[in-house]
Amino acid sequence: MADDPQPLRKAMHLQFKRLIADPFSTLHLQGHASVRRPFLVVLDGLDECADMRAQRRLVAMIVEFIRLKHGLSLLWLICSRPESHLKRAFWEIPECGRLELLLDRQSRDDVERFLRESLANIQSDNSDIIPSRWPAEAQIATLLRASSGLFAVAAIAIRFIDDTVSEVSNPMERLNALVSYFGNVKRLGTKFPLVALDHLYSQILSSIPKETFRVTRRILGHLPYRFSAMPRRANLSAQSVCNLLQYDQFRFYNALRGLHSIIDIPPPEEAAQRHLKFYHCSFHDFLLDPSRSGTYALEPDDVFAEEIESYMLWHQSEHSTYLHDAQRWPDQSFSEHQDRTEPPLELSWASPQNREKIVEEITEAIYSDLWFGFLSKLANGGKGDKILTLISSYDFRRSTSFGIRHLARWLNSHYPSNNILRTEPAGDKDLQLLEYLRVIGSAIDVPNRPATFSRNARDKYLEYFFVGYGEKAGLVVSAIETGVNATRTISHILSIGHPPSEMYLADHRRWLENDDAEYRELMQPE
């Protein structure tokens, strides 16, 4: 991987082949000593992978590998919560043994040992203010009843008690509050294992003042939706998230105060290197399930619109202006633009030492992954009037073509009568953009046609459509090559004041002549 990191950027089945199947098969054929004895591969938390289809696909790849390479001594241990789609997948595999781990006496004993040792450590660390006999056995009994053998509940309870950052940092007071709260919850125990967890989450969130929770909700909404499109570089640092959401340091950390028991929150001095993350995926599930979280639930459509708005604002801002180059294909890395003059940037929280790093991190993540991923998610979703309103005022002159065809399909499917997307010019600005297209047509001998958003032909051609209004409009020109197995497309947005350059035309000629392997490599299956 150090010599060739490319496999990590490939599709999942190619990663599996390059990183697991091929190396182990080669070692087996060579009779290497490392594969003569059973080799255990542990895959924990399968249910936390990208989506249900990806989870089932991974299981299918493992099963196919086992059947085709049955001589290999690879053993697979796959651990997951008992989600219905995974239970079905495992039941369909005769080679698969199954063991359901129940909350038995042993698990409860393990949790009790963890609680007692953790509380003893808290007392020892604070022996000057906490008496040696703390806590009372009755308090431990209440925590055990609430935990019901679940380490997740016990771990969150301990982090809550030992939270030294919150306003109330006295462990004795925090334990008293937690025990009192659990004492008023009737349905606790092994029959209702998630009840204690949900009540614990609710209790923690209830400590946040109402006037602060609006910011808290926005940050909480960003975390699960950041991964919904499974971008490669979406692990933005905490400081980058703060800047992306346009909060200053005080508002950001004030909104997260009291959540250290359920979210890994780096201190300010480490915020530029570390990212926010939930300690347990159950909190993610809790937030997205109104029946569990009630008033604290995240409304998916609202959060999605807020996320899109954040990315659009960054696209349009001066932060990323120097990455908009209408003279080149937008498939270049950040470093390739460093010779451009950067405009002054005013971030909500940055130092002269890390300002450039934060801008680069957010911009690359949005351009390369988040923006494309969210437009892909949008294309597979339903109508969204809030998002349409945002798009209607969007300045497509300062956009990239990443994911633009996903956006076009969504508009064409759900808002066909809205002329924000069109193939006929709607004014003088559109006519000027068509002149740019004629320049391309006269420079290279290739047909151009209005977009149909279909894949019927086997051909090589340019396809175009307008998106946006007036001076903010862009003409999306796609170089399309259709074949037997796939349609390959690369798109670019022409904007007013930026006629196609010689370099732009040269790129088209190379594509037409099909003699530039590096250029063809840029053509990605749509």
- Together in a domain, 434 and 514: yes
DSSP letters, 220-269, are HHHHHHHSTT--TT----HHHHHHHTT--HHHHHHHHTT-TTTEE---GG
Examine residue 47 and state whether it is found in any structural domain, yes or no.
yes
Quote the pLDDT of residue 95.
72
Which residues neighbour 361 within 8 Å (Cβ) at sequence distance 6 or greater? 236, 237, 240
91, 119, 147: which is the final residue of a domain? Answer: 91
Whether residues 78 and 137 share a domain: the answer is no
> How many separate domains does the chain show?
4
Residue 163 lies in a domain: yes
Q: Does residue 291 share a domain with residue 369?
A: yes
Residue 98: inside a domain, yes or no? no
* DSSP state string for 466-497: EESSGGG-EEEEEEEEE-SS-EEEEEEEEETT
What is the identity of the amino acid at 428? Answer: D
pLDDT digit string (tens) for 124-155?
999 999 999 999 999 999 999 888 788 888 99
Q: What is the pLDDT of residues 72-114, one digit of tens each?
A: 778 889 888 777 788 878 887 877 787 777 667 778 889 999 9
Q: Which residues contact 127 (CB under 8 A, 6 or more apart)?
A: none
At residue 372, the pLDDT reads 62
Residue 191's pLDDT is 52
Q: Of the residues 57, 91, 125, which one is the last residue of a structural domain?
A: 91
Find where tokens 């992306």 sit. Answer: 244
DSSP string, 165-199: SSS---HHHHHHHHHHHHHT----STTSHHHHHHH
Residues 356 and 261 placed together within one structural domain of the fold: yes
Does the residue 487 lie in any domain? yes
**Stated pTM of the model:** 0.69
Write b or e for each residue in 415-426: b if 16 or more Cβ atoms lie within 10 A of its Cβ, otherwise e. beeeebbbeeee
Same domain, 256 and 333: yes
Comparing CA positions, the residue from 217, 194, 234 lying closest to residue 50 is 234
* 145 and 187 share one domain: yes
Give the end of a domain, one of 161, 183, 206. Answer: 206
Q: Which helix (H) or strand (E) holds 109?
A: helix 105-125
On whether residue 127 sits in a domain, the answer given is yes
Do residue 170 and residue 219 come from a single domain?
Answer: no
pLDDT in tens, the chain (526 residues): 666 666 666 777 888 888 888 888 888 888 888 777 888 899 888 877 767 788 888 888 888 888 887 777 788 898 887 777 888 788 878 777 877 776 677 788 899 999 999 999 999 999 999 999 999 999 999 999 888 788 888 999 999 999 877 666 789 999 998 898 887 766 555 455 567 788 889 989 998 999 999 999 999 998 875 544 444 445 789 999 999 999 999 999 999 998 999 999 999 999 999 989 898 888 988 998 999 999 999 988 888 888 888 887 887 775 555 444 433 333 443 333 333 334 444 789 999 899 889 988 888 777 655 566 666 667 677 788 888 888 888 888 767 676 787 888 888 889 998 999 999 999 999 999 999 888 887 777 666 667 665 555 456 777 889 999 998 899 998 877 765 455 566 778 888 888 888 887 887 777 666 644 444 444 433 3
Contact 292, 198 (CB under 8 A): yes
Task: Decide if 495 contacts 506 (C-beta within 8 A).
Answer: no
Residue 398 forms part of a structural domain: no
What pLDDT shows up at residue 63?
Answer: 87
Q: 375 and 229 in one domain?
A: yes
Residues 153 and 201 in one domain: yes
Contact assessment for residue 407 and residue 401, using Cβ atoms and an 8 Å cutoff:
no
For residues 391 and 394, give the distance between their C-alpha atoms in angstroms, rounded to a whole number. 5
- Name residue 494's beta-bridge partners: 475
Residues 182, 34: one domain?
A: no
Cis status, amide bond into 135, omega within 30 of 0: yes
Task: Fill in the DSSP letter of residue 396.
Answer: G
* Beta bridge partners of residue 490, listed in sequence order: 479
Whole-angstrom Cα distance, residue 77 to residue 60? 14
DSSP string, 8-71: GGS-HHHHHIIIIIHHHHHHHHTT-GGGSS-EEEEEE-GGGSS-HHHHHHHHHHHHHHHHHTTT
Indicate whether 392 belongs to any domain. Answer: no
Q: Retrieve residue 92's tokens.
A: 């369909």
Is there a contact between 460 and 447 (Cβ–Cβ < 8 Å)? no
As a three-state string, the secondary structure of 296-330 is HCCCHHHHHHHHHHHHHHHHHCHHHHHHCCCCCCC
User: Is 397 part of any domain?
Assistant: no
491 and 372 share a domain? no
Residue range(s) defining the domain that contains residue 115: 105-206
Residue 161 sits in the same domain as residue 182: yes
- 3-state SS, residue 484: coil
Q: What is the dihedral of CA 314, 317, 323, 328, to 10 degrees?
A: 110
CA end-to-end span of the chain: 27
C-alpha 479/C-alpha 488 separation (Å) is 8
Structure tokens at 275: 């990212």
Helix axes 502-513, 428-443, angle to 10 degrees: 50
The C-alpha atoms of residue 246 and residue 463 are separated, in whole angstroms, by 37
